[in-house]
Amino acid sequence: MKETIAEIKRWLEAKERLTEEELARLQDDPRVGVRKLAARYMREQNRHQKEQARLEKMWHYEKQFRQRGLSLIAGIDEAGRGPLAGPVVAAAVMLPEQFQAEGLNDSKQLTAEERQRLRDRIEAEAIAIGIGMVDASEIDRCNILQATFQAMRIAVSQLDPAPEIVLVDAVTIPNLSVPQQGIIKGDSLSHSIAAASVIAKTTRDEWMAEIAKKYPVYGFERNMGYGTSEHLKALYEYGPSPVHRRSFAPVRSALEEQGEQLSLLGEKT
């Protein structure tokens, strides 16, 4: 008795891999539904192979340093250089060699749900995690780049045990006490940097969602401090909050407009 299409579908879902003969049998089946199942299986296999190749590529730098005898390898990345409000956050993460990195990628390429699932796994399995946060007033005082470096140094200093090498996305961190290796597009080429990207992004998003309760008019829980139309409208209507970066042009412009309005009001009175 020939298997039904539903039975073949369940059989395929339970199979990790088909033999060439099994696949050929499905592809030669006279039923369109069976041939469609075979085609879907091939697409899934291709997707899986590409993901495995991507993951293998993302271990390249970590493997390179392990071959040199280094085992405590930290990735570091930041979140929040561009927003008009809130802190810049850096995270440093050391992953074990056996960490299963499926799905791990630059945090900007992931959904909020994917980032949270990965964060839970990273926090459960990482050798160490460090987080550095520098607030808006310090960003205004020393500029966003120097504030980012400061957050990165804080994050690295919190790692216990201390790293033997730090992999950094694209930049060189001044005055860092441990050796470092800059990697262009590092958050898509290093698992350690990608993990740091996820931790930094989710940590900052949580902070912005919490501060939104104190300053609800700006929609921080939705825009995370970035200059969306909703945010800019509230900025010009209500003026900046204490967590806005006054050295950033849109915030400075809103302050100037607010000052002009107060000046005009004073002239009228």
How far is Cα 8 from Cα 3, in angstroms, rounded to an integer?
A: 6
Question: For 30, which DSSP code?
Answer: S
How far is Cα 143 from Cα 71, in angstroms, rounded to an integer?
A: 34
The answer to whether 160 is a known ligand-binding residue is no
Backbone dihedral angles phi then psi of residue 206, each to the nearest 5 degrees:
-60, -45
Contact present, 86 and 200 (Cβ < 8 Å): no
How far is Cα 252 from Cα 241, in angstroms, rounded to an integer?
A: 12
The answer to whether 169 is a known ligand-binding residue is yes
Three-state secondary structure call for residue 79: strand
Residues in the chain: 269
Collect all residues with Cβ–Cβ distance below 8 Å to 95 and sequence separation of at least 6.
Answer: 62, 73, 75, 101, 122, 125, 126, 127, 191, 192, 195
The answer to whether 138 is a known ligand-binding residue is no
Collect all residues with Cβ–Cβ distance below 8 Å to 161 and sequence separation of at least 6.
Answer: 72, 127, 128
- Start-to-end CA distance of the chain, whole Å, equals 95
How far is Cα 244 from Cα 205, in angstroms, rounded to an integer?
A: 15
Which residue type occupies 73?
Answer: I
Contact present, 88 and 134 (Cβ < 8 Å): yes
Contact present, 106 and 197 (Cβ < 8 Å): yes
Contact present, 210 and 92 (Cβ < 8 Å): no
Which residues sit in the known binding site?
A: 77-78, 169
Which residues sit in the known binding site for a divalent metal cation?
A: 77-78, 169
